[in-house]
């Protein structure tokens, strides 16, 4: 092999010394500086500064005392004990080194940075300092903010903090490491001078990165996120022993690189832990789980999405952002398939989900994994060969509902059902936003008066629903 090249998914042999490129690699020259078309307006800057100062004042006591460092030290100590108890080899020492590093950062922060933050805030309020672009710089800190406001972030960059290098043990097989790397690089991770790197506030993400890129990991904690509800340490982790893997690609919309179905689920899990959200949605007095993967580059996820066997739908947002959404029983099925793969291939990931109890996202992941999947047809009736879900509200109002992948298909099925059963526009409706077909009670009455089989199925679903509710009460 030529210099600088290597087989995918095997560590480097050059030890990755220094910050420069590996032998045989070429650093691209930065583009020439010019006019920044995305430069914030004066109004945006003014609004961002006001919000930044408001947050710094709100968390003034936390910043002065360095409480966020005390909290993370306690969490690292707890994790060190937990991984020792679970027998996760090698990570006890990693957490011990991270805890000692945080102690050194805390000491420097209290001595230099906290006082400078306080003084900088007072000078900004008096109008003595104005920002340059999206930041305000000082000797030991830089206050930074992003615009526009709907996706703004507010951070404190801590200077002269330093970093550490730890040795992450290899505990996963390569057939799990590879898809984990895919998912991380498609979401939160980036490539810095050919080194995979990631910034995160999540300890689970840090552990996931170390599992995906075992070997020497450079770690620093030189940023603080200033959120509305608190101040969090932003960790930067960077692999020093791995090249980034080749990601699966699509040549066009219909021809994508074939990948193993289990690999696709593992990669999707890693992506969801970074750019995903786990929540619920309320529909007609019922609460259903909902999982979203947020991306601006859906084409990069196509090979993975085409390899899984679970339905999802797309929700366009702002500025090219797309939410890839798994809802209801499909969300539960997705997490249970992932859980089944981890049981056989990577049980350590399930143990980590049990250990990291202080992260809201992890709690929601565990909750959805342990939910029950309603079997296909259990709460459905069949109309002209199409399964419609029987939706029963708390007041016993009944509707038939079916969601399609696109509105054209939904309209075609709705027209077919309406013509066969003699339904009017008041009886059946298609909702373009959700691609859902809804048959209202008036339409259901017409259907069951004409079709005895649908009547029997509807009664079966009602009886099943009553039995389920009684069991929940018990």
Confidence of residue 148 (pLDDT cuts 50, 70, 90): low
Cα(104)–Cα(99) distance, rounded to whole angstroms? 9
Tell me if the pTM is above 0.85.
Answer: no
* End-to-end CA gap in the chain: 67
Per DSSP, the residues of 58-77 read HTHHHHHHTHHHHHHHHHHH
Residue 265 reports pLDDT greater than 90: yes
Residue 385: pLDDT band by 50, 70, 90 thresholds?
confident
- pLDDT tens, 405-429? 788 889 999 999 999 899 999 999 9
The pLDDT confidence band at residue 26, using thresholds 50, 70 and 90, is very low
**Which CATH topology does 261-369 take?**
Endonuclease I-creI (3.10.28)
Q: What is the pLDDT of residue 273?
A: 94
Fold match between 261-369 and 380-473?
no
Q: Give all strands (DSSP E) within 272-366, no chain letters.
A: 276-283, 286-295, 313-316, 322-327
3-state SS assignment for residue 80: helix
What pLDDT score does 469 carry? Answer: 67
- Identify which of 307, 305, 462, 303 has the alpha carbon closest to the alpha carbon of residue 379: 462
Q: How far apart are CA 176 and CA 136, in angstroms?
A: 43
At residue 28 the predicted structure's pLDDT band, cuts being 50, 70 and 90, is very low
Domain definitions of the chain by residue range = 42-239, 261-369, 380-473
Q: Which CA distances in Å does 419 have to 409, 413, 416, 424, 429?
A: 16, 10, 5, 9, 13
* pLDDT value of position 182: 95
Of 164, 291, 142, 304, the residue nearest 237 (C-alpha): 164
**pLDDT tens digits for 337-381?**
999 999 999 998 998 888 887 788 999 999 999 887 665 456 888
The CA-CA-CA angle for residues 74, 77, 82, to 5°, reads 125
pLDDT at 29 over 50: no
Nearest to 331 by CA among 278, 376, 285: 278
Q: Among 3.30.780, 2.30.30, 1.10.132, 1.10.260, name the CATH number for the domain at 380-473.
A: 3.30.780
């Amino acid at each position: 092999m030529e210099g600088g090249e290597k087989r995918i998914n095997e560590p480097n042999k050059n030890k990755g010394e220094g910050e420069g490129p590996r032998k045989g690699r070429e650093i691209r020259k930065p583009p020439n500086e010019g006019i920044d078309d995305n430069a914030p307006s004066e109004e945006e800057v003014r609004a961002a500064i006001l919000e930044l100062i408001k947050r710094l004042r709100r968390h003034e006591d936390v910043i002065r005392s360095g409480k966020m460092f005390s909290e993370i030290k306690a969490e690292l100590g707890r994790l060190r004990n937990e991984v020792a108890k679970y027998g996760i080899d090698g990570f006890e020492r990693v957490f011990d080194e991270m805890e000692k590093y945080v102690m050194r950062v805390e000491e420097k922060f209290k001595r230099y940075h906290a006082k400078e933050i306080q003084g900088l805030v007072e000078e900004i309020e008096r109008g003595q300092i104005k920002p340059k672009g999206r930041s305000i710089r000082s000797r030991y800190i830089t206050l930074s903010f992003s615009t526009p406001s709907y996706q703004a972030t507010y951070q404190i960059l801590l200077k002269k903090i330093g970093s550490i290098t730890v040795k992450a043990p290899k505990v996963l097989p390569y057939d799990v490491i590879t898809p984990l790397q895919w998912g991380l690089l498609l979401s939160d991770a980036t490539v810095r001078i050919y080194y995979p790197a990631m910034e995160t506030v999540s300890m689970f993400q840090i552990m996931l990165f170390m599992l995906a890129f075992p070997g020497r990991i450079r770690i620093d904690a030189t940023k603080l996120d200033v959120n509305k509800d608190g101040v969090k340490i932003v960790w930067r982790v960077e692999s020093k022993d791995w090249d980034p893997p080749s990601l699966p690609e699509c040549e066009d919309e219909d021809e994508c690189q074939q990948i193993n179905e289990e690999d696709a689920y593992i990669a999707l899990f890693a992506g969801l832990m970074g750019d995903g959200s786990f929540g619920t949605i309320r529909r007609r007095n019922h609460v259903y789980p909902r999982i979203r993967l947020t991306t601006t580059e859906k084409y990069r996820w196509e090979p993975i999405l085409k390899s899984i066997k679970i339905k999802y739908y797309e929700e366009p947002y702002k500025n090219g952002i797309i939410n890839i959404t798994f809802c209801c029983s499909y969300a539960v099925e997705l997490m249970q398939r992932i859980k089944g793969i981890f049981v056989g291939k990577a049980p350590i990931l399930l143990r980590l989900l049990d250990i990291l109890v202080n992260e809201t996202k992890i709690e929601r992941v565990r909750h959805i994994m342990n939910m029950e999947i309603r079997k296909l047809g259990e709460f459905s009736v069949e109309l002209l060969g199409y399964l419609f879900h029987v939706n029963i509200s708390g007041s016993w109002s009944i509707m038939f509902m079916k969601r399609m992948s696109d509105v054209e298909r939904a309209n075609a099925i709705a027209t077919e059902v309406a013509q066969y059963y003699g339904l009017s526009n008041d009886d059946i409706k298609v909702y373009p936003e959700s691609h859902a077909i809804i048959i209202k009670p008036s339409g259901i009455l017409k259907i069951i008066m004409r079709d005895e089989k649908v009547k029997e199925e509807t009664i079966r679903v009602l009886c099943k629903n009553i039995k389920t509710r009684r069991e929940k009460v018990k």
